[in-house]
Amino acid sequence: MKISIVRNILEANESAAKENREHLDRARVLAVNITSAPGSGKTSLLEATVPGLGAERRCAVIVGDLQTTRDAERIGVLGVEIVQINTEGGCHLTASQVSAALDRLDLDGLSFIFIENIGNMVCPAAFDLGEHARVAMLSVPEGDDKVAKYPTLFQPADAILLNKADLVGVLDYDMNRVRDDLNRINTRAPFIEMSVKTGRGIEEWLAWLRGLQT
Amino acid sequence: MKISIVRNILEANESAAKENREHLDRARVLAVNITSAPGSGKTSLLEATVPGLGAERRCAVIVGDLQTTRDAERIGVLGVEIVQINTEGGCHLTASQVSAALDRLDLDGLSFIFIENIGNMVCPAAFDLGEHARVAMLSVPEGDDKVAKYPTLFQPADAILLNKADLVGVLDYDMNRVRDDLNRINTRAPFIEMSVKTGRGIEEWLAWLRGLQT
């Protein structure tokens, strides 16, 4: 019984995700779903990404949050269209929530929609939002065991970012362990060491994003 | 429909939680449910707590993990009884999982059972496991906005720990913002600044635990 309920929820989500992707394809807009634990730096990444892509690639942002509008306020100053999804305690975004958000955006002339998911390494992994690319972000202070412990997040990711890489050496962090764990579950996605704070790795990330458009 | 399913799941959990608590009360064992985001330091906290409480307070540990046995292996060397719950992708522990774990533990002469929940700031908040005290742990590198963004975790907590406090100053972190946010939702729980790495705050934490027994 429990399994069939879960399957129904996932099937309904899958169907909404497919519609989102078709809608975005018709509008020629690329959607990128960004997932991580709380505090890894998703909002900071977007603060660097939107200006970094330049005026010729217009962006919009969909931000998921449990309660507050803090992330939306931070991104709002970037001068892009933004839709906040308040999940009221919900632990991940769903494709139907994203569908409602898309209806509130002007897709005309947009290059990218970035979807900042709820900070959670578990639940967002199971829900396709209709994105074209999924990004899973790690952060050095979380420790070097997170790929092994949360493989469902990292296995399907199209790019894996390691943020706060400036803290390697300040904090104990075994990069080889992370690379070994990734080699077991995902050799397809690029692994980009970055620090949004210092700017390291941002160019590699922007180049990867630009490459999605070709 | 969706709401009634959720209510049934929570009601079944509540009933199992009540039974766990009664079972633990009869055995005179205190259960502490430890919640946090991934990588805040729950396992490291237990590595300091079990020896810190001393031989006169015998402990056991129940560890939730999605896939691996890494946390259980780390705690195993402490020489305490340990039960690993593998949730196979599940995003939180449930009272019935804890009930099954309790059946595998010898409660006789135990003082504390520590339950290390899944690293997740959302879903564990809704599931009473039958614990006597719930602990919510923050970590400085996660940023100073987490109390406001994940209030469902911090509002019901009986103690709030801020780990990696040795990184205040190294990383941007506004302690007043955290205290202000806590003052809005939880003035009941002690707020303990600590660093499991340096030992700061551990004595205050151990004193709080000992106080639960009186």
Rounded to the nearest angstrom, the minimum Cα separation between B98 and chain A is 19
pLDDT band at B143 (very low <50, low <70, confident <90, very high): very high
Tell me if chain B has a CB within 8 Å of the CB of A137.
no
pLDDT over threshold 90, residue B3 = no
Fill in the amino acid letter for B27.
Answer: A
Could you tell me how many residues make up chain B?
214
**Per-residue burial over B130-163, b = 16 or more CB atoms within 10 Å of its CB, e = otherwise:** bbbbbbbbbbbbbbbbbbbbbbbbbbbbbbbbbb
Contacts of A188 (CB under 8 A, 6+ apart): A158
pLDDT at A58: 95
pLDDT at A137: 98
Tell me if chain B has a CB within 8 Å of the CB of A144.
no
Rounded to the nearest angstrom, the minimum Cα separation between A19 and chain B is 22
Are the beta carbons of B82 and B184 closer than 8 angstroms?
no
Tell me if chain A has a CB within 8 Å of the CB of B143.
yes
**Mean pLDDT calculated for residue range B76-82:** 92
Beta bridge partners, A60, equal A81, A113
pLDDT at B5: 63
pLDDT at A134: 98
pLDDT at B141: 97
**Mean pLDDT calculated for residue range A21-46:** 97
pLDDT over threshold 90, residue B209 = yes
pLDDT at A25: 97
pLDDT at A197: 96
**Mean pLDDT calculated for residue range B115-125:** 96
**Half-sphere exposure of residue B105, counting CA atoms within 13 Å on the CB side?**
32
Let me know if A156 is exposed, middle or buried by CB neighbors in 10 A (0-12, 13-18, 19+). middle
pLDDT at A89: 85
Contacts of A25 (CB under 8 A, 6+ apart): none
Residue with the larger pLDDT of the pair A113 and A12:
A113
Residue whose C-alpha is closest to residue A154's, from A173, A118, A181: A181
- CA A31/CA A125 separation, integer angstroms: 16
To the nearest whole number, what is the mean pLDDT of chain B?
A: 94
Q: Which residue of A has its CA nearest to B65?
A: A149
CATH number of the domain at A2-136+197-212, out of 3.40.50.11310, 3.40.50.300, 3.30.470.10, 3.90.1150.10? 3.40.50.300
* A88, A92, A121: best to mutate for the B interface, most B CBs within 10 A: A121
What CATH number belongs to B2-212?
3.40.50.300
Collapsing DSSP states into helix, strand and coil, what is residue A115? strand
Tens of pLDDT, residue by residue over B147-159, are 999 999 999 999 9
pLDDT at B164: 98
Residue whose C-alpha is closest to residue A23's, from A96, A83, A116: A96
pLDDT at A9: 81
pLDDT over threshold 80, residue A127 = yes
- CA A34/CA A128 separation, integer angstroms: 12
Largest CA distance in chain A: 51
pLDDT band at A181 (very low <50, low <70, confident <90, very high): very high
**Mean pLDDT calculated for residue range B200-209:** 98
% of chain B exceeding 70 in pLDDT:
97
| Cα dihedral: A45, B121, B138, A197 (round 10) | 0
Tell me if chain A has a CB within 8 Å of the CB of B39.
yes
**Per-residue burial over A76-114, b = 16 or more CB atoms within 10 Å of its CB, e = otherwise:** eeeebbbbbbebeebbbbbbbbbbebbeebebeebbbbb
ipTM of the complex in this document: 0.84
pLDDT over threshold 80, residue A45 = yes
Tell me if chain B has a CB within 8 Å of the CB of A36.
no
Q: What is the pTM of this model?
A: 0.90
pLDDT over threshold 70, residue B177 = yes
Collapsing DSSP states into helix, strand and coil, what is residue A77? coil
pLDDT at A1: 44
Q: Which residue of B has its CA nearest to A173?
A: B39
Are the beta carbons of A170 and A141 closer than 8 angstroms?
no
Give one DSSP letter per residue of A81-97, joined into a string.
Answer: EEEEEE-TT-SS--HHH
Token digits of residue A29:
């807009």
pLDDT band at B6 (very low <50, low <70, confident <90, very high): low
To the nearest whole number, what is the mean pLDDT of chain A?
A: 94
pLDDT at A3: 57
Rounded to the nearest angstrom, the minimum Cα separation between B24 and chain A is 28
Tens of pLDDT, residue by residue over B83-101, are 999 998 899 999 999 999 9
**Mean pLDDT calculated for residue range B6-30:** 92
Judging contacts by C-beta atoms under 8 Å, the chain A residues touching residue B122 are 66, 89-91, 118, 120, 123
pLDDT band at B135 (very low <50, low <70, confident <90, very high): very high
**Half-sphere exposure of residue A180, counting CA atoms within 13 Å on the CB side?**
6
Tell me if chain B has a CB within 8 Å of the CB of A142.
yes
pLDDT over threshold 50, residue B1 = no
Collapsing DSSP states into helix, strand and coil, what is residue B194? coil
Contact A37 B119 (CB under 8 A): yes
pLDDT at B156: 95
Tens of pLDDT, residue by residue over A138-180, are 999 999 999 999 999 999 999 999 999 999 999 999 999 999 9
